[in-house]
Structure 1
Amino acid sequence: MERLSLEQYLTQVIWPAFLTTMTVMAWTVLISTVVGFILAVIMDVSKEDGLHPNPLISRVMDFLINLIRSFPFVILMVSLIPVTRFITGSSIGVKAAIFPLCITMSPYMARLIQGHMDQVSREAIEAAKSFGASTFQIIWHVILVEAIPGISSVICFSAVAALNASTTAGMVGAGGLGNVAIRYGYNNFNDTIMYSTVAILVILVQLIQFIGNKIYNKLK
């Protein structure tokens, strides 16, 4: 491999990889949060003491979510290659990484968001019912409002998890910092590059957690 100067390494390798990692992470968090919230609402509404109990829907949702959560990410990503190629047109690259990441993250988001919805006071929900609030109004103006601090912490968790998973995806063709660590660091026996990439990831995680804690403390 051609020897790169520090400036070339930063501008031609690290910066594009950083942008790729952040793009994958941002889209994954956005999509998995939306999908996870929808799934959480369905589970919360259909549970035994929910607004519209439905044991069949509740059991099916539990089974599907637990099934997807039982797959290690790398195995799930590989097993989804035909579906990923059909949907995105490729099995490598940013779009091909985002799809399996969203499939992996959404069930975790759903389970965690539902956990915070479960903590909403039943008295508040019953009071909203007594005033004639619709199911949508109860979900939007009571449950979501009460659960929003916890949901913000879930989003922070998902951002860190998506960053870690996107790094793993980078090792198998998605690009990003994970690809840099393996391709330019490990494969070329360059510990400086490998550990500097790790240091960047550590700083990113600490920054995400710091911002997440600030938002949570402001909302609670």
Structure 2
Amino acid sequence: MKKSLLVGVFAATALMTGCNKQQDVKVTAENDKVFYSVGYMFGQRMKDLKLSDAELMAMTQGLKDAARGTKEQVDLKVYQPKIREEFQKRVEAHSQGVKVEGEKFLEKFVSSEGATKTASGLAYKIIKAGDGAKPKATDTVKVHYHGTLIDGTVFDSSVDRGKEVSFPLNRVIKGWTEGLQLVGKGGKIKLVIPSGLAYGDHGAPPKIPGGATLVFEVELFDIQAGEAHSPDDGHGHGHGK
């Protein structure tokens, strides 16, 4: 998300979602549903901030005042620089608890399933070694993958979509780049990827929370040497950068 959009995106959420105790709105008109959808999608990005009702109401009032052309109640030059700092602080605070649970899950995966933990913190278990060459980071791989959170919630799956995916191995999250180089063509691997090798404190809203440890099962079908152009599928959190 670009910096210039930060204030508008976050401020838009509160009014559109109608999330305060004073006035919850039941959306019925077709045009209202359009704007409700805008608010809901933005609101999903704010879930981890744990905003209070008072904070949501203040945000709502700010959006109303701006949309109606009413003079602002605060000096924006003073408070605009504080926005990123406050949001960053809350995102990091939320992600810490998520990270702790992820670390416990990863260590249990290593101890109870005989998985291996690498120096980077990635944990993996070879389900099927494969009998072909292993890919290099600069190669393009063709795979099927199934991605879940540690509670089993599926956030993305080419298996469920029924379509294999090809992408450059050096243009994905670090856990994928490292992990796929450990299995041969025709093989299958299970990866448990800590947030530092995935999407970090910010996650990939709305499906992946900040600090989340990710679980993937990946089957490697083919390897194409050298740099590829672009993924043939826009889906897949294996494609995150």
> Could you say which structure has the higher strand fraction?
2
| Greater relative contact order (CA < 8 Å, ≥ 6 in sequence) | 1
What TM-score range do you get, normalising by the shorter chain?
under 0.3
TM-score by length of 2: 0.22
